[in-house]
């Protein structure tokens, strides 16, 4: 495929042609345009987004704790951004599950409270150090949307991060299909699953 074909293919899907390039002299602005945008297109996707749905705080914790404990074993950075304080419910649930005390302590050492400002400091520090980070966002749809906008602002695009948006099923009701269409994966109790 020659350069003009690449340009036309790119512009067909991403823009408009106002003047067809006739020779190399008129092609230069298009070449610059393509090189700049191909670089942008070739950048690795750095934020993987996954969805999950919960019926209550306990349900959210039961879905996420197996996944969180697995990621803690892999020494991943984990931040839980939540619209409400989960400390009490997590304390109750962790006291009743069959895990080693060391893992229970790691889970309980995560900040389960509604403390977004300090959690964004952790996210910012991890991105400055080019560390991979796993971010859970739990709450109503408006909260999730606002937090995701802030995550985009606070994170460096070169840092690999995974965002798991956890929706309150009682709020979204019949809109599950519209929400899942925005994602490739869903988090279940047994891990990430491709959405078909």
Spell out, as residue ranges, where the chain has pLDDT lower than 70.
Answer: 1-47, 156-159
CA atoms within 13 A on the CB side of 168: 14
Q: What pLDDT score does 127 carry?
A: 84
Pairwise CA distance, residues 101 & 96, whole Å: 12
Q: What pLDDT score does 12 carry?
A: 53
Pairwise CA distance, residues 9 & 5, whole Å: 6
pTM for the whole structure:
0.75
Pairwise CA distance, residues 92 & 88, whole Å: 6
Q: Both tokens of residue 134?
A: 């796993």
Q: What pLDDT score does 4 carry?
A: 54
Q: Both tokens of residue 177?
A: 């299909």
Q: What pLDDT score does 2 carry?
A: 53
Q: How many other CB atoms are there within 10 angstroms of residue 137's CB atom?
A: 25
CA angle, residues 35, 39, 40, in degrees to nearest 5: 120
Q: What pLDDT score does 36 carry?
A: 39
Q: What pLDDT score does 38 carry?
A: 42
């Amino acid at each position: 495929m020659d350069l003009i074909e690449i340009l036309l293919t790119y512009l067909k899907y991403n823009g408009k042609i106002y003047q067809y390039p006739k020779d190399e002299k008129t092609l230069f602005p298009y070449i610059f345009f393509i090189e700049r945008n191909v670089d942008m297109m070739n950048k690795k996707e750095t934020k993987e987004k996954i969805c999950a749905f919960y019926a209550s705080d306990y349900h959210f914790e039961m879905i996420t704790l197996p996944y969180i404990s697995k990621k803690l074993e892999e020494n991943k950075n984990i931040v839980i951004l939540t619209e409400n304080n989960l400390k009490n419910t997590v304390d109750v649930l962790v006291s009743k599950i069959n895990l080693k005390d060391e893992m229970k302590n790691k889970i309980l050492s995560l900040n389960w409270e509604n403390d977004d400002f300090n959690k964004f400091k952790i996210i910012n520090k991890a991105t400055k150090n080019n560390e991979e980070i796993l971010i859970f966002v739990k709450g109503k749809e408006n909260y999730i949307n606002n937090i995701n906008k802030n995550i985009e602002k606070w994170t460096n695009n070169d840092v690999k991060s995974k965002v798991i948006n956890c929706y309150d099923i009682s709020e979204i009701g019949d809109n599950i299909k519209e929400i899942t269409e925005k994602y490739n994966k869903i988090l279940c109790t047994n891990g990430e699953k491709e959405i078909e």
